[in-house]
Amino acid sequence: MIAMNEAHNKLYIPILNSPTRVLRLTNGEHIRDLIFRVLATENYDPAHEQWKFPPGKVVRCERQNKEGYEILIAVEEIK
């Protein structure tokens, strides 16, 4: 189970400019429920990777099970 009471949670952002499905691990500022503000990684470079939801965007995440671990994946921008 993912703890939602932390100020920042780990979440995954889909990468758009990749020939295969790639998810980038980053931090998110927890707003409420499964809603987070995306935070940049230390080495974030928009010229190198195009994130579907760039830093600063507010997103809704879904819990998904990957390789036996429950992770949060950003699926929708909240405006």
Q: Other C-beta atoms within 10 Å of 64: how many?
A: 13
* pLDDT for position 6: 59
Is the model's pLDDT at 7 over the cut of 70? no
CA 70 vs CA 46, 56, 60: distances in Å: 27, 24, 16
pTM of the shown model: 0.86
Q: What is the residue range of 18's domain?
A: 8-77
Q: How many domains does the chain have?
A: 1
Does 62 map to a domain? yes
Question: How many residues are there in the chain?
Answer: 79
Q: Other C-beta atoms within 10 Å of 30: how many?
A: 19
Does 39 map to a domain? yes
Does 21 map to a domain? yes
pLDDT-based confidence at residue 1 (cuts at 50, 70, 90): low
Question: What confidence tens digit (pLDDT) does each residue in 9-54 have?
Answer: 999 999 998 889 999 999 999 999 999 999 999 999 999 999 999 9
DSSP label of 24 = E
* pLDDT for position 45: 95
Q: What is the mean pLDDT of residues 73-79?
A: 97
